[in-house]
Amino acid sequence: MRKVALLPFLAASLAVPVLAWAEEATDVPPAVSAAQAAFSGHNAWILICTALMFVMHLGFATLESGLSRAKNTVNVLYKNVFVVCIGLLTYYVVGFNLMYPGDFNGYFAFAGFPPDPGPTGQTAAYGEGTYTFWTGFLFRAMFAATSTTIVSGAVAERIKLKSFLVFATVFSGLVYPLLGSWTWGGGFLHDMGFYDFAGSTLVHSVGGWAALVGAWMLGPRIGKYGRARSTPIPGSNMASATIGAMLLWLGWFGFNGGSVMSAAPALISQTLVATCLSAAAGGVGAMLTYSFVSRKPDLSMLLNGILAGLVGITAGAATIPVGLSILVGAVAGGLVVLSVLLFDRIKIDDPVGAISVHLVCGIWGTLAVGLFSTNAGHRLSTQLAGVAIYAVVSLLASFALFSLIKATMGLRVSAEEEVEGLDASQHDMHAYDLTGTAQIVSRRAALTGGEPATAE
């Protein structure tokens, strides 16, 4: 009875603050209330896009593991998960304030530690007045992790785990943010008029140049190239690779859609339609191009064609007309096939085609802005200059970093470890239980006094 008697008292107590809040809410001018609602909508959209970009890392993991051999699956998955963890941490410690230092000379500055949103950072509007400080931080942190994970696929199946972890830490924490500051942080390339909407160059080509250096310094996998021709090394799980590619396509709704940095309906609609049409055209373009190479359609080429179309349109999704986005994607799809064949010919071993997808098609997409953008200020010469500057600096930084790691830790596993598989040599575990129940039964018999367990 005493508990029942307390209910009216609790209800009355709760009603006081609720009524006070309602009374205050009625005093808010309609214009202010509408602005608050709009701000909340913009901020929520960017957070949703951030979540979609997080899903992209699942796509990278499943795509790369599917295109690699089963004996290296754990290693590939480990690297992809680590990149997300270290990318977020390094971006908080140093990356964000290196990439967005505020007023600086256009080349290098650091705003200090930690990122400081100010006294009203949780609620105040930043950028175009559409998102909070921490929303902007988290959204941009996903880009840092994405740039680094591109390298993982190109160096798969033969790089030492610890060496890659060191590379990923430095690259995501220092190299990518510094280069990003030159354009997105208001640096000298931004002042030149260089334009990259969502990162065809800043994310994909920067990561692609590093992937090229890493693959070249490591050398090809054992058995990949003979004297006369290359030997195909099939992936272990094309279903996984397909799921990964489609997850990446889904994640690109956040990658490009969130780069609008608001929930502006017209611009988001144009951006996402252009993104999807380019991806579709990339898949078809790759399929048609590969038909001149082989009568048998290659699923991996189709998947990489889709990704090529996505990378290609990323620089100009908001400024290239929707119809022309089909052309951008189709050219990217053709380029990725030709690029894979070219790198194979010069014996640059890239197990997943990351260099062709992200580097080659990232360059194409950046130049396409100068060719097709509706903004008269976007010039081909400026885009070409930006591509060249990022190429030189990315190559030098990646070469220096890989060389330092090679001299101190070594880059490549031994031939014995590579043949055995990195799952066993680097992790002492396997992604798949291929022994069935026989080994379990044998071990149980040994524990109960039966025959000793035999190694499978």
Q: What are phi and psi of 126, to 5 degrees?
A: -120, 175
Q: Is the pLDDT of residue 2 over 60?
A: no
- 288 or 38: whose pLDDT is higher? 288
pLDDT at position 434 is 61
* pLDDT range class, residue 445, cuts 50, 70, 90: low
What rounded mean pLDDT belongs to the chain?
A: 90
Q: What are phi and psi of 118, to 5 degrees?
A: 85, 175
Instruction: Say how far apart CA 188 and CA 315 lie, in whole Å.
Output: 18
Q: Which amino acid is at 114?
A: P
- The answer to whether 379 and 191 have CB atoms below 8 angstroms apart is no
Sign for the pseudo-dihedral over CA of 237, 243, 246, 252: negative
Q: Is the pLDDT of residue 9 over 50?
A: no
* pLDDT range class, residue 4, cuts 50, 70, 90: very low
With a CB cutoff of 8 Å and minimum separation 6, the contacts of 363 are: 200, 201, 205, 387
- Residue 202's SS3 state is helix
Nearest 5°: the CA angle 330, 190, 339 is: 30
pLDDT at position 16 is 45
pLDDT at position 178 is 97
Neighbours of 404 (CB within 10 A): 13
Instruction: Say how far apart CA 117 and CA 132 lie, in whole Å.
Output: 9
- The answer to whether 247 and 56 have CB atoms below 8 angstroms apart is yes
- Domains and their CATH numbers in the chain: 37-427 (1.10.3430.10)
Proportion of the chain above pLDDT 70, given as a percent: 87
pLDDT at position 432 is 86
C-alpha gyration radius of the chain = 25
* pLDDT range class, residue 448, cuts 50, 70, 90: low
- The answer to whether 128 and 261 have CB atoms below 8 angstroms apart is yes
Q: Which pTM does this prediction carry? A: 0.89
pLDDT at position 17 is 46
pLDDT at position 373 is 98
Token code pair at residue 380: 């081909």
**Mean per-residue pLDDT for 137-149?**
94
- Mind listing the pLDDT tens digit for each residue in 188-219? 999 999 999 999 999 999 999 999 999 999 99
